[in-house]
Structure formats: C-alpha cells, structure tokens
Amino acid sequence: MLDLAAAHPIFHWRSVWLIIAAFIAGVLNAVAGGGSFLSFPALLGTGIQPVQANATNTVALWPGQITSIAAYWEDVRKNMRLVYPMGLAGLIGGTGGAIVLLITPQTTFMKLVPWLLLIAATIFALSRPITRWLDRRAVARHQRAGTEPQPPRRRLVFLCTVVVCFYIGYFGAGAGFLIITLLSVFGVEDMNEINALKVVSTSMANGVAFLIFVVSGNVEWRYCLMAMVACAIGGYTSARFARLVPQQVLRAMVIVIGFGMAAWFFWTTR
C-alpha cells in the first residue's frame, strides 16, 4: 500500500495540512461544492488506510450536511410525497455502498481512488453545461402548445436514486449534482424542490454510512475531529470569502484541484 506520509515530505506535517485542507474544503462545500477533493487526499496523507480515510471523510463532513435540511425545511415539508421515497432510497443505497466499501480490500480501493476522483471531477466540470441544457429543455417543454409538465415517474426515480446513493455510501464526491440532474431529467423543475429532495437523499445516504462506519470502528477519530472542526469553521467563514471571489473562479479552482488530485493518484499508484 502506498504510504503518502513517507512518499512526500509535505505529509510530515500531517495534522497541519489536514486542518488547512479541511478548512478550505468547508469553504468550498459551502460556496461551490467539491470539498472532498481536498479533505479525502489530506486524510490519506496522514498515513491511515484508504478505506478508513474515506470513512473518516464521510463522518467528518456529514454534520455540515445536516444543517442544510434546516435551511430547506419549508420545501422539505411541502414535498413529503417525494421526500419519503427519496429518503428511503438514500437509506437503502447508502447502506449498500457503505457495506461494499468496508469489504473492499485496501489495495483494491486504493487502485479505484484515482478513477473515483476522475469521475467526480468530470461530474463537477460538466455540471454547469448540463444544468444550462436542462434549463433550455424545461423552457422548450413549456413553450409547446397544450403541453403540461409531467409528474416524475416515482418508481424509476426511486431506483435511480438508490443507485446514486450507493455511490454516495461508497465514495460520494459529486453525487449531489447527480441527484439534481436525475430529478431534472424526470420532470422536477422547481429548484427549491430539487434542492430539498437532494438534501434529504444525500443526508440519509451519508447518515446511514456515518453510522455503519462508526459502529464498525473504521473512523480515525484523532483526525476526524480535526477535520470536522476545521471544515465547520471553513463553512462558517465562507460567506465573506464568497463575496471576494467570483463563483466562476471558485468552480475553476475546484475543477483544477479535482483533476489534479486524480492525475497525482494515477501517477503515484501506477
């Protein structure tokens, strides 16, 4: 197994780098997304096993996600007809993904890491163009004479959400946008409704993964607590940062970090 702490001198200062990376991850998650591109490699850099690093990252970042439910509570309450199945899909998919992660050999997961980072970075990079396409699609649908918006096909939405939430339980970076795209494709057009359903499904998937990782003893608490506190502080201070840096610049930073981390892991695990 690759020991990043031994491979590069920057990781001699493990805790300092983790705190800095988690703080920046908290800022990015609050204003643009993609914080896992920094926090997960930083946890790997402490020298812990890859599976434990991923589990610790999930536990460290999950409390910040829960606060989003409170922010969207009115929209959650208005859409209970979809909230319950989306939440159930999150529980089922997240449970499956977390269990499969824990039975994945460390060396196998380490070989998957660059591919997972590449997939997540690609999802993030394509999110804006796809969102614009979905917006044009919705406008065109409304412009057709006599056409009424079609309700989402709940069974298919449920099954697709289970698949996405399996990925969330297993790795998770970039999955929030997958939920947004899924709901948009199936006819949900109100962005507040979409965000509310996204928050419910991803929080449930990460929440059940949180419990599984904690109960199974795969969380490195000495690093988890550092990352959790630093991430929370980063999220809290993100408003000032967001006003200083344009969204396009933040997104570009996340994309560069994501592809850069993927390339670095492809190189070091070859």
Q: Report the chain (270 residues): mean pLDDT per 10 consecutive residues.
A: 48 80 85 82 92 95 75 78 90 97 94 90 81 70 52 77 94 80 76 81 92 96 93 79 74 86 87
Domain that holds residue 250: 4-268
- Beta-carbon contacts of residue 108 (< 8 Å; ≥ 6 apart): none
33: number of CA atoms within 13 Å, CB side? Answer: 17
DSSP class of 12: G
Instruction: Assess contact for 51 and 17: CB atoms under 8 A.
Output: no
- Rounded CA separation 226/246 (Å): 28
Total length of the chain: 270
Here the tokens at position 261 are 């981390």
Contact by Cβ (8 Å): 88, 203: no
Residue 231: strand, helix, or coil: helix
CB 114 within 8 A of CB 265: yes
**What's the CA gap between 125 and 33, in Å, rounded?**
11
pLDDT at 74: 81
The answer to whether the predicted template modeling score (pTM) of the entire model surpasses 0.85 is: no
pLDDT of 239: 64
Domain count, the chain: 1
* Predicted pLDDT at 148: 45
- Which pLDDT does position 141 carry in this prediction? 62
